[in-house]
Amino acid sequence: MTPPAAGPTMALTAKHYTVAALMATLAMAVIVTVVFAVLCPARVTFSVARTSFHHEDSTSTTGSLRLNLTLAIDNPSRRAAVAYESMFVDLSNSTAAVQGDNWIRATVTTPMPLRQARASPATVDAAVDLVAGPWAVAFTGDMTSSFSVIVTAQVRFKVGVAWTRLYDIKVSCRPVSFFTAAKAKPGAAAASLPVKCI
């Protein structure tokens, strides 16, 4: 016995399957696009808000030197909170766009991970200790140099209950000064702040 010949109902069923498959593909594409749009990272901005220095031996200006800085981080997003999983702050005595070998890793004194709510500011403190001697004098340009601050952070963004993947953020802030013009006031804040990071 021979099978029945394909008629108009078989063609109509094949068209329905094709249209249904195309509609399902289109629906999935819309869902994926919406999820990526909602979970895209917020645009956080960094700046160096405060700098200062002091000698460890307050009776001398030749002792060990500590450079302190405070980073201000602004999260303007009304939908995404930020979690800073780790952060590194490096200090270079060059303000050139391409950094050489003269850099020191600062100690980030703000505990990590750091959570930042939606549409809110946050601050991160860091410090660099320089041992007294000719290297410290050369690195600071006898306390007259401007510096570059390089911030590297690993962050996740939270939109509603969903967390994004881990993102790397790297910004550079320059020129940053730790020393007052007279360099005679240890502990005083330097001028020309805040310095925006790009």
Q: Is the dihedral of CA 179, 128, 90, 51 positive or negative?
A: negative
Q: pLDDT digits over 159-191, tens only? A: 888 888 999 999 999 999 988 654 545 555 555
Average pLDDT score over residue span 72-88:
95
Higher confidence at residue 131 or residue 171? 171
What is the CATH code for 45-196? 2.60.40
Q: How far apart are CA 58 and CA 99, in angstroms?
A: 32
Q: How far apart are CA 150 and CA 138, in angstroms?
A: 20
**pTM given for the model:** 0.75
> Is-contact 85 156, C-beta < 8 A?
yes
pLDDT at 51 > cutoff 90:
yes
Average pLDDT over all residues of the chain? 83
Q: How far apart are CA 170 and CA 154, in angstroms?
A: 9
> Is-contact 85 75, C-beta < 8 A?
no
> Is-contact 145 130, C-beta < 8 A?
no
Vertex 148 angle, CA 198 and 168, to 5°: 45
Q: Pick the closest to residue 127 from 90, 98, 159, 154 (CA basis).
A: 90
Helix (H, G, I), strand (E, B) or coil at 21: helix
- Say which residues have a Cβ less than 8 Å from residue 125's Cβ, sequence separation at least 6: 68, 69, 70, 71, 108, 109, 110
In this prediction, residue 48 has a pLDDT band, given cuts at 50, 70 and 90, of: very high
Q: Is the dihedral of CA 9, 14, 17, 19 positive or negative?
A: negative
In this prediction, residue 118 has a pLDDT band, given cuts at 50, 70 and 90, of: very high
Tell me phi and psi for residue 197, to 5 degrees: -105, 145
Domain ranges in the chain?
A: 1-38, 45-196
Tell me phi and psi for residue 160, to 5 degrees: 65, -120
